[in-house]
Structure formats: C-alpha cells, structure tokens
Amino acid sequence: MVHIYQRLSQRYIEEQEVGGKSLRFLYETIPGRLLLRALVGPQFSNWKARQNKQPKSAKKIEPFAKKYNIDLSQAEQKEFANFHEFFTRKLRPVARPIDREPNHVIAVADGKLFAYPITESGEFQIKSSRYTLRELVQDEETAELFEGGTCLVYRLAMDDYHRYVYPDAGKKVKEQAIRGVLHTVRPLAHQYTKVFAENTRQWQLLLTETFGPVLYMEVGAMLVGKMHDHGLASFKRGEEKGYFEYGTSSMVVCYQKGSIQLDADILRENEKQIEVQVQLGEKVGEKDAP
C-alpha cells in the first residue's frame, strides 16, 4: 500500500491499489517483463480507450464511482453515454475553485504532489531513477532555464479529476511532443525503469506574468489512450489546458531557481518521502520574495 498525506482532511490515508498483483508480476518477474513489452506499446492503451467509448461501458460507471468515492453531483453533466464521457467529465467551477491571489502557486491538477529540487547541473531524482532535464525535454536551451529550480510532479490516480489548468496568465513560447512507451506511473514502476524519460510526453515552455518561464509537461501512462491539450497560444490563470483519457497519468511543472517557495506542509511530508494529495486550483506555494 502507498501512504499519502491527504491535505483536505489533514490525515494520512492508504491509496487504493489498482492491479497491484498484476503490476508486480509485470515488473518483478521474467515472464512478466516479456509481456510488459507488448503492454507498454500504444496498441493496448488505444484498444482500452475504444472499449471505454462503447455504450455498454456505461455499466462500469456506478461501481467505479462507488469504489473511488467520486461525488457525481460535482459534475456539470448528469448522464453519460459511456465510461469515457464519465471519466473525462467536467466539474462545476465551484467544485474546484481557483486561488486568484496573483503571487500564489496553484495546483494545476488533482493529484499526489511531490516536489523535487533540480540541481545546478539540471538533475533531479524520482524514487530510484535519476533524471536530467535534457533527457526529459530533449531540448538543451529549454533545460538550461530551469537548472537549480523546482520540479513539481503531480501523479494522477483513478480517483482524481483528469482535467488540468494553466498555472498563471501568460503565453506559450515553445512546445514539443516526444513519442515513447506507456509505463504505469505508479511508484512501483519507477524502481525498474526511468518512466518519465521513456513514456510518451508533450511539453510547453510558458512565459507567465508572475513566475516567469514555466516548463509544463503532460506524461502519458499505461491505459491512457490520449492526452488532449487545447493548444492555447495565450491563456489566463486557472484556464483549462487539457485533459487525459482513462488511466493514471502525470504532470511535471518546473519553475526557475528562486521563483517559488512551496507551502510548509508539502515540504514537510515530501521530506518524509510522502506524496501530498492536492486539488486543482488550491494554493501549494507562493512567489519567492526577491
């Protein structure tokens, strides 16, 4: 079981394990790793996405919502033609209010948040895997902008809202899509492979009004059929940026050195190697004082 700190209730909870035995078989056994080669390809995830768009998939909605304690009264839509419509549902704005204080850093998505310091040489470590920004974005000029900064990783699980927003008002400067495979983003996988450097991902370099340059990356994962980015050239704080189809996934958001200071409770729990469950739009830090 994975223990996380639930910020809303200020208590520790055990995250529900989805396919835990299957994942351990895939990543920890020789026959499992042979099978894994086929499952991390796009064909399996795309097939699953097609199944979720069939009318008969609607019968999965009620048991799924019950299992993960999903409050359907928060959704704008009240009826769903299939499971895909349910999973990608939009919530009413009151369900995820956006912190409008300009100097506050907001959570760009629901998720389990962990902050990683980026070294002056552009390195950071997630679980047992050590990454460089260069291998993550495959763009040296962009990677250099965030050396010595802070990397926020939002891990979206099945119970999270799978739409995400812009961190501040600004404009898009650069973007790139990188093809890869689709490993699960659950903590287990990070022990055996460099998930964020191998998975399909797309990133944008944003020039924001409050925090300056921000690197914003969506990372695909096993069962995620597609990442839908609205592709806005300019945007407002808290405006919807896109959404994920069914499956777990991750967001990686990097801020420059000296630009932000995270809230004390997040730093405290991360120091204990515990992820913090946050909700889209809430304050997770603030602009660092000059």
Residue 112, amino acid? K
Instruction: Decide: residue 4, CB within 10 A, 0-12 exposed, 13-18 middle, 19+ buried.
Output: buried
User: Are 102 and 176 in contact, with CB atoms under 8 Å apart?
Assistant: no
Query: Considering only CA atoms, which of 205, 206, 219, 214 is closest in space to residue 260?
Result: 214
Please pick, among 45, 110, 160, 168, the residue that the annotation labels catalytic: 110
Please pick, among 45, 57, 160, 249, the residue that the annotation labels catalytic: 249
| Structure tokens that stand for 38 in this block | 């086929």
Question: What b/e sequence results for 116-129 when a residue is b if at least 16 CB atoms lie within 10 Å of its CB, and e otherwise?
Answer: bebeeebbbebeeb
Instruction: Decide: residue 236, CB within 10 A, 0-12 exposed, 13-18 middle, 19+ buried.
Output: middle
Decide if 249 is catalytic. Answer: yes
CA 118 and chain centroid, separation: 18
Query: Considering only CA atoms, which of 82, 204, 225 is closest in space to residue 162?
Result: 225
Residue entry with tokens 């009413």: 92
Query: Considering only CA atoms, which of 209, 253, 218 is closest in space to residue 102?
Result: 209
| Structure tokens that stand for 2 in this block | 């994975």
Angle in degrees, CA 58, 279, 172, rounded to 5: 95
Contacts of 241 (CB under 8 A, 6+ apart): 108, 164, 165, 166, 216, 229, 230, 232, 235
- How does strand 275-278 pair with strand 2-6? parallel
Decide if 128 is catalytic. Answer: no
Catalogue the active-site residues.
110, 249
